[in-house]
Amino acid sequence: MQIIKDAQVVNDNWQLLSIETTLDDISAQDNVILPLSLWLENKSQLENRQEKTGVWLNSAEEIESIAKNVTAIPLIALEFPSFTDGRHYSSARILRERYHYQGEIRAIGDVLKDQLFAMHRCGFNSFVIKQGKDINNALLGLNDFSETYQAAVVQPLPLFKRR
């Protein structure tokens, strides 16, 4: 599968696991993204995995539940159940600004071209585009606007301070 990461279309080297996954289902050879509940229940066992372990949060789960461990998590995926649910825009910004998270923040779920510019400004740097949509066309969404007025994670100075 291909994703957008750091403004490029690349092959995904992570496996997103479902909420029904158990610890026994996890392959030792794959980078995996686990549901928050499974990750929380098995943090200590997962620390010794050879491959990387990421975490995904649904839109009702709070970033604060992983706050103490963010530096040890290489990828945090935030799920958008629908185009109209924007709760995780704030989650991404909190990860970057409050917790100084430097890892990958991935948007998953109902992710469309029209959202990418705003998501990127909030701190997302990778995107799984909704199935059935053209990923190369979606990539263009990162450049929908040439200039922004407000400060953001990717540009902390507002326009008036940049002039």
Dist CA 108 CA 67 (whole Å):
20
> Candidates 3.40.50.970, 2.40.30.10, 3.40.50.620, 3.20.20.70; correct CATH number of 2-161?
3.20.20.70
Dist CA 105 CA 121 (whole Å):
12
Query: Do 75 and 106 meet the contact criterion of CB atoms below 8 Å apart?
Result: yes
| Mean pLDDT for the stretch of residues 58-64 | 95
Given a cut of 80, is residue 149 above it in pLDDT? Answer: no
| Mean pLDDT for the stretch of residues 25-33 | 84
Provide the pLDDT for residue 153.
83
Q: How far is CA 47 from CA 15, 41, 50, 69, 115, in A?
A: 17, 12, 9, 11, 34
Nearest Cα to Cα of residue 82 among 117, 115, 124: 115
Q: Which residues pair with 151 in a beta bridge?
A: none
What is the Cβ-side half-sphere exposure of residue 147, based on CA atoms within 13 angstroms?
6
Query: Do 142 and 112 meet the contact criterion of CB atoms below 8 Å apart?
Result: no
The least confident of 28-32, 49-53, 89-93, 158-162 is 158-162
Given a cut of 90, is residue 15 above it in pLDDT? Answer: yes
| Mean pLDDT for the stretch of residues 1-26 | 92
Question: What pLDDT, in 10s, does the model give residues 64-91?
Answer: 999 999 999 999 999 999 989 999 999 9
Which position has the higher pLDDT, 158 or 5?
5
Given a cut of 80, is residue 156 above it in pLDDT? Answer: no
Given a cut of 80, is residue 138 above it in pLDDT? Answer: yes
